[in-house]
Amino acid sequence: MKRIETALISVYNKEGLDEIVLHLHKSGVKIYSTGGTHDFILALGIKSIAIESLTEYPSILGGRVKTLHPKVFGGILGRRNLPEDVEQMEQYGIPPFDLVVVDLYPFEETVRQTTESKDIIEKIDIGGISLIRAAAKNFAEVLVVPSADYYKDLLSLLNKKDDQTSLDDRARFASYGFAVSSHYDTAIFDWMNKGYSEAFRKSSNQPTSLRYGENPQQQGIYFGKLEDIFEKLHGKELSYNNLLDLDAGMSLLAEFDEPTFAILKHNNACGLACRSQLSQAYADALAGDPVSAFGGVLLCNQPVDEETATAVNQLFFEIIAAPDFEINALQLLRSKKNRVILRLRDFDFPEKQFKSVLNGILQQDRDSKSESVSDFKLVTSKKPDARQFDDLVFANKVAKHTRSNAIVLAKNKQLVGSGIGQTSRVDALKQCIAKARENEFVLEGAVLASDAFFPFSDSVQLAAEAGIAAVVQPGGSVRDQESIDACNKLGVSMVFTGTRHFKH
């Protein structure tokens, strides 16, 4: 055990610091401090030695240089078990520091608040980050407190162990120190890097423990700020699979401006409809596959009214997420204890996506391309009518967010069948048609969307036999002409988008 006799304090956030300072003073610890921290301690009526008194050098360059001095870093890095280090510290009048308390300039907060480079740059902490790294490196001798987030932990440790620390205590706080410093540097890198470097850097200090991962035998943790995405109004804690469904559902909903209701199951839409009234959008989304909707995740892009909530309340589901809820609707939906109710915030998805693969990370740009009628290239002699064009746009958006190989059938802006995650495109279509017929949809006049090209004309033949009137697909197969010829022969119109939308 090692007793704390000398402390260096240099912090930005002083909330809660008074308790630490009062404790150290009561315990007879000699306190050194910098700038505003020194003024804060003196205002408490407690003696503190200004760092300038130690270094015999003033704070210079507008405060950019205060602690970067051998008398400061020698006192942190000196190895007390090495006679030559102790001798040099005595020779140059360097006091040993047992405790270093730091809180860095709020760089990330500044980036959120302004785009002024000058202001952001001034919030890149130099002295503080150096103090943290030095103290964490020499954890054999020094206890480092790298952030205001650990003030309470420090106070608890001081009270529990009577101002003494073990090697394990110091190692634990050193790990906090390197976590803080690495996260801080990553934030600076993310801001500075305008495509100059392809290095991969991601960091999060907001771990949320989940009930489990995909399965109960797997641990699950979410790193990120869920509070920036939604407000949880009711229900149990979210699971790993819940978050995957929410991500898929919110990505899909972002494609639509008109009132839209989506029902998600295993990251795929099993129901989706656009209508002028939200209650009707829900009814038609549910009709798309009422069996699969059981236990699903519900999302919509309009506030939930009482009429919609009354209908929704009859279904067993895990989550409902919407921009808002009328008071009576919210009260009704809260009738089930475990049902999760989320109020969605305005949120823009990151431009980059990441996935762990093998022993590394895959990175790609988000698929932000979404086709409209103007992007369609008519390749058949027959042209879709106005309603079919609207349905083709609708179906193409759904197919983009459906697991490959994906085929989607739609009619009157309602999802009427999905072929999801099949190893062949024709099998996806067979599944799609079977699902639509199971739910008693009339496919005459419906449209089909495919996330990738048809390798053969067999899908066109099967679609025409089912009554499909129009097809949208990327095109690009060496056998495209065979599919085009089949469409012309069978009286089916087809458009190409030129863009594939695989999703795995």
84-97 pLDDT per residue, tens: 989 999 998 999 99
Tokens 């458009």 correspond to what residue? Answer: 495
* Cα 278 to Cα 284: distance, rounded to the nearest angstrom: 10
When the pLDDT of each residue in the chain is averaged and rounded to a whole number, the result is 93
Q: Would you place residue 52 in the very low, low, confident or very high pLDDT band (cuts 50, 70, 90)? A: confident
Q: Would you place residue 203 in the very low, low, confident or very high pLDDT band (cuts 50, 70, 90)? A: confident
91-146 pLDDT per residue, tens: 989 999 999 999 999 998 999 899 898 999 989 989 999 999 999 999 999 999 99
Residue 337 annotated as catalytic: no
Token pair belonging to 36: 């505003």
373-408 pLDDT per residue, tens: 999 999 999 999 999 999 999 999 999 999 999 999
* Cα 88 to Cα 65: distance, rounded to the nearest angstrom: 24
Residues in the chain: 504
Residue 137 annotated as catalytic: yes
**Could you tell me if 146 and 102 are in contact, meaning their C-beta atoms sit under 8 angstroms apart?**
yes
More confident residue, 352 or 313: 313
Q: Tell me, what's the pLDDT at 57?
A: 76
Residue 65 has pLDDT above 80, yes or no: no
- Catalytic-role residue among 30, 137, 232, 382: 137
Q: Tell me, what's the pLDDT at 41?
A: 95
End-to-end CA distance of the chain: 54
Q: What is the mean pLDDT of residues 237-262?
A: 96
Q: Tell me, what's the pLDDT at 66?
A: 74
Q: Would you place residue 61 in the very low, low, confident or very high pLDDT band (cuts 50, 70, 90)? A: confident
Q: What is the mean pLDDT of residues 1-27?
A: 95
Residue 466, Cβ density class (10 Å: 0-12 exposed, 13-18 middle, ≥19 buried):
buried
- Catalytic-role residue among 14, 232, 236, 266: 266
Q: Tell me, what's the pLDDT at 235?
A: 93
Of 190-194, 218-222, 243-247, 373-377, the least confident = 190-194
Q: Tell me, what's the pLDDT at 198?
A: 78
Q: Which pTM does this prediction carry?
A: 0.83
Determine phi and psi for 70, rounding to 5 degrees.
-55, -30
